[in-house]
Amino acid sequence: MEFILFVIYLSIYVGLVATTFYILSFLSDRKKTKEFLSDDELPFVSIIIPAYNEENSIAKTIEDILKSNYPSERFEILVVDDGSKDKTFEIAKKYESEKIKVFHKENGGKGSALNLGIKKAKGEIILTLDADTFASPESMKNMIRYFKNEKVVSVTPAMVLDKPKTILQRVQQIEYLMGLFLRKAFASLDAIYIAPGAFSAYRKSFFEKYGGYEEGNITEDLELALRIQSKGYITENCPDAPVYTVAPSKFKPLMIQRRRWYYGLIKNTWNYRHILGRKYGDLGVFVLPIAGISILLSVFVTVYFFFKTLFNVYSEILFLRSVNFYFGNVLNFNFYVVERFLFLFFSNPIIIFVLIFMIVMFFYLHYASKKVGRSSGLVINILLFFFLFALLFGFWWVVSIFYAIFYKKIRWR
């Protein structure tokens, strides 16, 4: 029991240290003066859209990027159909012009589709865009401006969810908004190690020097982000570049997505374990080690509280049976449950730290929602996040670690 309490309080301590550190890093970054490309300096950009069975969204994706306020004569669109079995290629082909090129290849995975696009690209900057992702008109220009600094090799956007409806999507909305704040904090430390494949920009010269995407890697965008860090370059974040993506609405597709993400994170981090250490600054000394420790502690605490809750519920039911409690009276039963919940909730010292985290989370979300201009439904979504995400997060990681240990093969779908 003492060991369990030690782990719980250790996780709280690590969380508070990390949270304080990231907030201070974020605030210090806002005071820095950065140089940005002017309108006259904006380079030619190649937007690559890899697509596989995206007949329902490919047209909207193309039309949305054409609405960008980036100078029309300074970007091209390359759609790469990765052996789709539906009408993705036929729909995209209707948009083909001098500005929009459409290619078809046998199915080989997203990495191979992107590599084909890079070979065909004319731009100095490569911008990847998922076929189910929609960017605001100002997003591309705001991102490209960061390439004024020659050490910046990649720029990430502000990824948010597009019109969340289901409970799972609402939980993910809060997760994405928190990620927006954290990514900016990581950028202030030159420690971004995950670049969203849905809408990130890269210098083409990096691909020419160090190779393209790692084909066959289920999280090719994560591998690329770690490779950029390992070569000593900078990945920036542009919080003023909202990009809207469609999130899984049901448990099974979401589970498959997260299993792929987390399994990929485990594998790629292990492959790039040499970046742990002082040579790579805050990324190697603090950000990656804290991320790993936090994940392990979160899984342990989540599993512990899950089984403890089940045991407590079972014990309460046995107690009520022993005193001949009448379960048919639903109203009395609910009052009892509420009273017990409030007593256990407010008598637990850990709740103080939970409340602190909730206050910090509101700070994160206020910043994120202000940047992307979407704040409707946040209160309800925050409550759903608070009660469900920890359990989901722990479950996703338990499954992913199991697959990583026993070498289970993970695929995209």
* Interval 25-66: pLDDT, tens: 777 766 677 889 999 999 999 999 999 999 999 999 999 999
Alpha-carbon gap, residue 224 to 41, rounded angstroms: 26
Instruction: State yes or no: pLDDT of 204 exceeds 60.
Output: yes
For 5-9, 368-372, 377-381, which range has the lowest pLDDT when averaged over its residues?
368-372
Alpha-carbon gap, residue 318 to 323, rounded angstroms: 9
Closest CA to 228 of 192, 261, 196, 264: 192
The domain spans of the chain are 1-33+149-413
Alpha-carbon gap, residue 52 to 84, rounded angstroms: 5
Which one-letter DSSP state was computed for residue 275? G
Alpha-carbon gap, residue 388 to 174, rounded angstroms: 11
Q: Across residues 325-338, what is the average pLDDT?
A: 58
Task: Determine the 3-state secondary structure of 338 from DSSP.
Answer: helix
- The H or E element that residue 276 is part of is none
Instruction: State yes or no: pLDDT of 336 exceeds 70.
Output: no
Q: H helices of 97-166, where?
A: 110-120, 139-144
Which residues fall within 8 angstroms of residue 109, CB to CB, at 6 or more apart? 82, 215, 216, 220, 412
Instruction: State yes or no: pLDDT of 354 exceeds 70.
Output: no
Higher pLDDT, 351 or 286: 286
Per cent of the chain over pLDDT 70 is: 85
Q: What is the mean pLDDT of the chain?
A: 85
Pairing of strands 234-245, 45-51: unpaired
Alpha-carbon gap, residue 278 to 121, rounded angstroms: 37
Alpha-carbon gap, residue 208 to 266, rounded angstroms: 27
Which residues fall within 8 angstroms of residue 108, CB to CB, at 6 or more apart? 82, 83, 215
Tens-digit pLDDT profile for residues 239-262:
889 999 888 999 999 999 999 999
Total-model pTM: 0.84
Query: Residue 385: which pLDDT band, with cuts at 50, 70 and 90?
Result: confident
Q: What is the per-residue pLDDT for 50?
A: 95
- Paired residues of 203 in beta bridges: 125
Task: 22-29: list long-range contacts, CB under 8 Å, 24+ apart.
Answer: 22/182, 22/185, 22/186, 23/185, 23/360, 23/363, 25/185, 25/188, 25/189, 26/181, 26/184, 26/185, 26/188, 28/188, 29/184, 29/185, 29/187, 29/188
Q: What is the per-residue pLDDT for 383?
A: 80
Alpha-carbon gap, residue 12 to 297, rounded angstroms: 9
For 34-43, 207-216, 221-230, 371-380, which range has the lowest pLDDT when averaged over its residues?
371-380
Q: Across residues 186-205, what is the average pLDDT?
A: 91
